[in-house]
Structure formats: structure tokens, C-alpha cells
Amino acid sequence: MGKTKTAFVSGLGDETKKGKKESQRKNEKVHIANLKGGQRIKAVESETIITEEENQEKKKRRSPRVRGKKWTEAKTQVSKTKEYKLKDAIKLCKKTSYSKFDGTMEIHLVVQKTGINVNITLPYCAGKEKKIELASEETIKKLSSGKIDFDILVATAEMMPKLVPFAKLLGPKGLMPNPKNGTLVKDLKTAEKFSGNSITIKTEKEAPLIHTTFGKVSQKEEELIKNFEAIVKAINAKQIVKAYIKATMGPAVKVKTK
């Protein structure tokens, strides 16, 4: 008796699903390359190959996100349709924040267009105080050893060529001085006035959305109001379609900006 050669044949299961009779399947011939005389074929159905498109489709069909009990309870205190006055919205965010730590106050905006990129200085600190360093020869020595002990690096145009070799160290951390965020300054006098409350606000690359922070839950209402108003003014209220604020762990509250 000749040797048996095993061949993996896909699609047999699919034919069965379409109602093809078993007898018809047995009579079908499968052509296998390099088959010698006397050899028999043992057809074994292979597993169906799942394409990337099918994987993406499965991800889309995943069950909806289930919120926790604390969030659900907090959400019941916020109206889905109401636009709150800023002061009332801040009070509500503080009330519905359920984190054990001092949460951050966030702003989420839908604006008219992409490409918005502004640098502003908030009236009040929006979190922990940031350590600012003015680039100097001492800074170069620290960077040469891989040491970074500052949150913001400010530099004059004269110092930039010396910082370029450290772009791979500073860039990924967002510390490379540049004019867009105000950290590249004209002279030392301007550098000394730079504030740790300065933030850069910009839209997402491909969507007219802005996400930023404007303080902590524990901050005074007056401070949060001033910070929020400064952000709206910098962007221009006419550009804002919708505005929401929320605590790190808490539901979003829709705010009036006009």
C-alpha cells in the first residue's frame, strides 16, 4: 500500500455550512503539488484565518463600558441637559468628586477648528509648584550626566545650540525649550519673569478638541473661576462650541461660556 500524504485544506467547513452534502465533498478532487504515484491524500480541514478587519470588527462589538457604583451615584446629581453657570458647575464638581486624593480639575472643550495653540499664564497655580530652571553652563553639566531635577527649562537663543545635543533626552519629556510654549525667550530679563503657572493649550492633531487642567479640587472656588476664565479668554469664547469640567474621579458637568 502506498504512503499517505496529509494536506491541510481550508474552506471545507464553509461548504458544509452552505448545505453541501457529505457525499459530494467526498467526490471532490484536491490537487496537491509533487504528489507521487501510489500516494493517498488525507484531507484535514485547517483553522479559518481571521483577518485584521475581522479583529477590528470584533473590537467594535465589545460590550459597553460598565461604570462603578460611586460614579453612577455621583452622575445622578448632574443634569444631562442643563448648562450650569461656572460657579455652580465648580461647586457641583467638588461635591461629586469621590477620589480619596486631591483630584485635578479638568476642562474638556469642543471648539470650532483644529490648529489652536496658545500659551497662557494662569492667575493661580493649577497643581503642585513647578521647578523652573534657566539654562546655563551648570545645566549642561547636569544634562551630560543624565540628571534632570527641574519641571520646566527656559533658555535664551544663545543657549539653544548647547542644548541641541540633549534633544533626545529633553524632547520626550517635553522639556526642550521652544517658542510655542514660551520657554524660548529673548533675553535673561524675560526668562526671569517666566511663571510656573504657564501652560500650553492646543487642540488634538486631528480633532477640534482641547483637554487641559485648571486647578485642584481643594482649591478655592474664586481661584478656579479665575483660571477657567483665563483659559476661555485665551482661546476666545466664540471658538468654543461646548465646554465641560470635571474632577479626576467624577462626572462631567456642562458649563456656560457665553
Q: 255 and 83 in contact (C-beta within 8 Å)?
A: yes
pLDDT band at 39 (very low <50, low <70, confident <90, very high): low
The three-class DSSP label of residue 58 is: helix
Range with lowest mean pLDDT among 77-86, 118-127, 155-164:
118-127
Say what the pLDDT of residue 173 is: 85
What are the C-alpha distances in Å from 75 to residues 85, 100, 188, 213? 18, 18, 49, 21
CA distance 231 to 235: 6
**Greatest distance between any 2 Cα atoms in the chain:** 96
Q: Which three cell numbers stand for residue 59?
A: 473590537
Q: 251 and 78 in contact (C-beta within 8 Å)?
A: yes
The three-class DSSP label of residue 164 is: helix
Say if residue 130's pLDDT is above 60. yes
Residue of higher predicted confidence among 135 and 42: 135
Which domains occur in the chain, in start order? 4-60 (no CATH), 73-126+197-254 (3.30.190.20), 132-192 (3.40.50.790)
Report percent pLDDT > 90 for the chain: 46
Say what the pLDDT of residue 46 is: 47
Q: Provide the H-helix boundaries in the chain.
A: 12-17, 22-27, 52-60, 69-75, 86-96, 137-144, 160-163, 167-170, 188-192, 221-235
Q: What is the mean pLDDT of residues 220-240?
A: 95
Integer-rounded Cα radius of gyration of the chain: 31
pLDDT band at 125 (very low <50, low <70, confident <90, very high): confident
Distance of CA 15 to the CA centre of its chain: 45
pTM, 2 dp: 0.61
Q: Which three cell numbers stand for residue 27?
A: 467526490
Say if residue 168's pLDDT is above 70. yes
Kindly report, residue by residue over 143-160, the tens digit of the pLDDT: 999 999 988 898 988 999
Say if residue 225's pLDDT is above 70. yes
Question: Which residues, 6 or more positions from 87, have their beta carbon under 8 angstroms from its beta carbon?
Answer: 221, 225
Say what the pLDDT of residue 165 is: 93
